[in-house]
Amino acid sequence: MEEIDQIKTRVVGVDIREVKTTYALVDIRGEIIAMDYFMTMDYPDVSDFVTVLSEKIITLVEENGGYEKVRSVGLSAPSGNFRTGCIENAANMPWKGVVPLAAMLRDRLGLAVALANDAHVTALGEKAFGSAHGLKDFVVVSISHGGLGSCIFMDGKPHLGVNGFAGEVGHSCVVADGRQCGCGRKGCLETYCSDKGLMKTVEELLAERMPSALKGMKNISVQTVTYYCDQGDQVAIEAMRRVGFMFGLGLANYASILNPEAIILTGDMMQAGKWLLKPMRKSFDEHVFHNIQGETRLLVSILKEGERDVLGASALAWDVKEYSLFK
């Protein structure tokens, strides 16, 4: 009897961040079957990182049904280029230069691997499972510890640009000769609007000798600053106001150029809630082109932070042409 090919109903989604890498086995309905993580920063050599990641994926797959059900792998990474499958000159990652990560992992796993910018992957997750479901023209902006990234969808499809780097709004200059950015330039939006940008703003305010419970505190986080905002701490509140102002300015410029239906906000900084969003909205309304004022919806992601990007990476995996050494 002639053998019938079995439909593969699972993919692996991987979200690579500066601090942590999360990987998950996801089925065709978008259900996460199993998920785990390890610390990216423990592997400054990318070859060691790929070895560990491939071993962990193999273990996860073998413990949950085996390779015969797995179709492909999707990777999310800062400065990931979908067209080349490489991480290219990532400002905040331990691996410098051009890293052909998709090819390296494909050779280890024997499966098709697709790689894209983290904001691109976040947008895929929002399109398939979140706030962008049903939208055609939208932007997803992610603001977190690693910086500020975005992805543009036009007519229901991601707009990647000629070289695959469309949407790098975090590296648009908002202050001439401003703060030093990891990309090598100064005044980039993400140096003001990210976890690191918030901490820098707190430092600057404390240097002005403003009284604050944050003075002398180590390992300050978004959650810490938000807590002290709730307590009425003026440094915390002013730091959030300044970050919100710059964020709103950057988003207004973006909306004025693209005229999207919505801008969807994601990332660690969204935990700040009203303390960030209220000044951001005020600044956005003050700076956006008057003909589209009130026309662009600003939405906060409804997806869980830990799951959204592995789901987006899984959506990326379904689109890559199948390749396997195990057929």
Report pTM: 0.81
- φ/ψ region of 119 (left if φ > 0, alpha if ψ in -120 to 50, else beta) reads alpha
CATH 3.30.420.40 residue ranges in the chain?
10-117+306-319, 131-302
**Smallest Cα–Cα separation from 100: which of 81, 80, 85?**
85
Residues 165-224 have pLDDT tens digits of: 888 899 999 999 999 998 889 999 999 999 999 999 999 999 998 889 999 898 899 999
**Residue 242 pLDDT > 50, yes or no?**
yes
Q: What pLDDT is stored for residue 324 in this prediction?
A: 54
Architecture of domain 131-302: 2-Layer Sandwich (3.30)
H/E stretch holding 39 reads: strand 32-39
Residues 104-133 have pLDDT tens digits of: 999 999 999 999 988 888 888 899 888 998
What is the distance between the alpha carbons of residues 168 and 159, in angstroms, rounded to a whole number? 12
What is the distance between the alpha carbons of residues 76 and 116, in angstroms, rounded to a whole number? 5
Burial of 6: CB neighbours in 10 Å, binned 0-12, 13-18, 19+: exposed
Q: What pLDDT is stored for residue 8 in this prediction?
A: 86
**Considering the domain 10-117+306-319 in this protein, what is its CATH number?**
3.30.420.40
Q: What pLDDT is stored for residue 75 in this prediction?
A: 96
Q: What pLDDT is stored for residue 327 in this prediction?
A: 46
**Residue 4 pLDDT > 60, yes or no?**
no
**Smallest Cα–Cα separation from 179: which of 107, 91, 73, 69?**
91
Q: What pLDDT is stored for residue 325 in this prediction?
A: 52
